[in-house]
Structure formats: C-alpha cells, structure tokens
Amino acid sequence: MLIGTGGTIKADLLIEGEKIVATGQEMDVPDAEIIDASGKFVMPGGIDPHTHFDLPMFDTVCSDDHYTGLKAAAFGGTTTVIDFVPQDHPTLQESIDAWHEKADLKATVDFSFHMNITRLDENIISEIPRLIDEGIASVKVFTAYNDRLRLQDGEILKVMRLCSKHSILTMMHAENGDVIEVLTADALAAGHTEPIWHAYTRPAWGAVESVLRGIALAEQANASLYIVHVNTAGGLDQIRYGQARGLPVMGETCPQYLFFTEEYLERPDGAKWICSPPLRKEEDNEALWDGLVDGGLQTIGTDHCPFFFDGTRAIEYEGEWIAIPGKELGSEDFTKIPNGLPGVGDRLPIMWTYGVGKGRLTPNQFVALTSTNPAKIFGLYPQKGALLPGSDADIVIWDPHRPLKYGLAHAHHRTDYNLYEGWELVGYPEKVFLRGQIIVDDEQWFGRAGMGRYIMRQPTGGVI
Ligand code: URP
Ligand code: ZN
Ligand code: ZN
C-alpha cells in the first residue's frame, strides 16, 4: 500500500536513478529490479522539521553530530532533517558557513537549515532577505533564554515583518523569559537544585501567554507563524484562537510532550527528561494528541538534542569508545543540566505504534504529520514528502506487523539512554531509501558520510 500519493492506494512505484518516475497498477517494466513490498506500507521518508546536531550548550556539545544523528534518523525512517543554525558569528553568512562545515561532509541523509535570529541590528536586518539565496526559508526567534537567545517583542515584530515581505516563515520558541529568570533566581536562592525545579521555574502559563503574544505580533506584522515544540493545552488553545480568526498560525509538537509528564523529572534519573520547554501534565499530553488528530497542530518534530546521562562513562560507537560531558554537569544545580533529549530515530516507530496502532491516527495522518506537512510548510514539497512522479525517491518500506521491544539497543543515537526503553512496538521500518539508494535494510547500514545532500528550500509563507 502506498501512502503519500494523496491517499492510500495499492500500486507499484517506478524509480529511475534518484527520482520516482511513475506510480501505477501492476506495472510491467522490462529489466526493472523488483522489490516486493506486499503486506507492507510504502511511504515517503520522514522529514524531521526540528533537530539539533553538534550544538554547543553550556560546557559541552550535544552528543550526536551530523553523521551519528542523521544515521540514527535513517534507521528510524527519516530521510530529511531540518537543523537550526545558531547565530554564533558576527554575520549570518559566517554562521551558516560554519554550520555547512560541520554538516556537509558528515551528513548521511538529506538536510536543510533554519536560521536562529538571537541578536538583531541593522547589519543582521540587511542579511535576513538574503537567507533565501542560501536555501533557508525559515527563521526561529525566542521569547525565552534571557541574555542568551531571546529577542525583545519589538525586535520579534521587526523580524516578522521582514520575513513576511520575503516569504520566510517565522518560527517561535514560546516561553516567558522574564518569569523564568525570576523563578530560577528564587529557586537557587532557596537551595533547590533538583531536576524538577527545571519544570517549576518554566511555568506553563508563561508558555501559554507567549504563544498568544507571538500570534498577536504576527498579526500585526501580517506574517505567518509556526510555534515550535507546542507543549501545553493552553498554548494549543491560543493557536486555535488564532486559526479561528483566519490567522496563518501553525504548530508543531514532539513525542516527549505526548508521552511524558513533569513527574519524570522527580525520578532519580530525572535529568534524562530535562528539555526546554519542560514536560507538562497529563491533560496537556491529551490535548496535544487531540490537536494532532483534529488539525490544530500540523507537524510532529523531535527537537532532537541529545546528551549523555552520564558523560563520564564511555559508550562504544562504531568500534570506538566515546564519552561526551552530559547531564551530570548539573548534578548539583538543575540550571547546569544541558537541555535536550534524543528522539530523531524514535519518532516514526513510537508514533506508529502509539498513534496508528492505538487507533489515534490513521496511516495517512501519520505520514502527513511526519513528512508531507513539514515538506509543504518548509518549502520542500513535492521534492520531499510525497510519492509522486518527480519526487525524490526517499522511500520507507514499513512493516506494520513487526514486533519489537525498543530501547537503546535498537535506537542508533550516540548517547547512553533512550526515553522509550523497554516499550513494546508493533511496526518498524524494513527498508529505507535515500534518493533511490538503499541506506537501511533491516538492521544493516549502507549509508555513508557525505551522501546526505543539502537541500535548498523554496520561499514559503502560507499555511497548509
Ligand atoms: O531543550 C531543548 N529543546 N534544547 C534545544 C533548544 C531549543 O530550544 O529547541
Ligand atoms: Zn526551542
Ligand atoms: Zn529545538
């Protein structure tokens, strides 16, 4: 069964070189190599619209780079990732060039970039329209991380106006930076050091308020807006409020906000679940599922940004022992725990079993949320996110019946833990193709560093 053709159909798919050239019933093509996918689903490779690789944070760096992380993506059925370029250099161009240096020779699946705008001046303003020439059709702004990444509201308004004029999509990390600053200082002064204080100091109402603030600013800027990692029921309510008034506002959530709550931070290994925004409550999980089902939310990303739980103990990766400082950096102080979770390889298998398998999502919704919608929103469609003549032959043959006890042994992330350790799965990628070449065949890896291509994205701006 093919998904990603506009519906689900029983058909054959003809590939020539890197492209899909035809779909049809019982095609008879002399000399064609035949791959039998009877009893399986055939779908476009996943597109993860929200990843971080090789990202410096606090006194360390996230533990997957553009080789290890993109390889893990491939094993989980994802063939394109969109990674965020931090604004770490005086100019945007230098920041982008530096990120290409990290990624280009390592990438194992296709990739593209979003640009973080975390400092604004006249020079940066003059550079933003030129992002399109770099194939970057989206920027991310932050209302949190005071003195580090946050822009003031007036600056965000200026970015949105400019982006709207040049068909660049504004993405927003929505939390209230001032509230976080005050609560964090209070918590530390009172001697609170445990991981749960990460959640207590980043309250849900701050996230709700700043989603609405973002929508209000976007309305005034006549801009489209994409809220990343939506994590609260209230934030989704604000998105729905905007959508009901015809505003072009979209939302992404991530598996961690569907399956886990802040209570996980109270466990002895609670640092494993530290991410920003933090995990919330069960009613938030449930509301976000509803948003995926009824279209309030458009995409499932991962915000993949892994760190070792214990970076003093080496793990074996491709025959080498490696240890990278991780969550233990904050064992005495929750504000020093690097923020972020592994997930790029987990996304499709987990969402299939617990979304499609549990009857919450149809196979078509699954593909829309994890591939087609990200492609449409971020200017990759129909090159990616579709099984149409002319699309790249990024294809996953999905075995919907394969049972698997999941966890670190199956996930290929370069870290020492997996959030879904021991979870029972039914359904898993069997074969993964990148532009017509097989890169994963069951547990075998045929990819190589540098085979992933940088994808120039088209200007965007609308909503889907
Ligand atoms: O904890 C997270 N999510 N780290 C990555 C940075 C971000 O805000 O997406
Ligand atoms: Zn963020
Ligand atoms: Zn992120």
Both tokens assigned to 360 = 């919450």
Task: Please state, in angstroms and rounded to a whole number, the distance separating the CA atoms of residues 451 and 436.
Answer: 12
- Residue 56, CA distances (Å) to 147, 228, 244, 404 in order: 16, 20, 39, 34
Q: Let me know: does 4 contact 385? Beta carbons within 8 Å.
A: yes
9 band by pLDDT with thresholds 50, 70 and 90:
confident
Ligand whose nearest atom lies closest to the CA of 301:
3
Based on its alpha-carbon atoms, the radius of gyration of the chain, rounded to whole angstroms, reads 21
Return the residue whose CA atom lies nearest to atom 4 of ligand 1.
340
Instruction: State residue 86 phi and psi, 5-degree precision.
Output: -75, 150
* Strand pairing report for 444-445 and 437-441: antiparallel
462 band by pLDDT with thresholds 50, 70 and 90:
low
Q: Which domains are delineated in the chain? A: 45-381 (3.20.20.140)
CA–centroid distance, 140 to ligand 3, in Å, is 9
Instruction: State residue 24 phi and psi, 5-degree precision.
Output: 180, 170
Q: What is the pLDDT of residues 236-270, one digit of tens each?
A: 999 999 999 999 999 999 999 999 999 999 999 99
pTM value > 0.85:
yes
Ligand 1 environment, Cβ below 6 A:
52, 173, 275-276, 303, 305, 339-340
Task: Please state, in angstroms and rounded to a whole number, the distance separating the CA atoms of residues 204 and 199.
Answer: 9
Return the residue whose CA atom lies nearest to atom 5 of ligand 1.
340
Q: What is the pLDDT of residues 96-128, one digit of tens each?
A: 999 999 999 999 999 999 999 999 999 999 999
Place of tokens 């409550």: 281
CA–centroid distance, 276 to ligand 2, in Å, is 7
Task: Give me the sign of the Cα torsion angle 54, 275, 408, 356.
Answer: negative
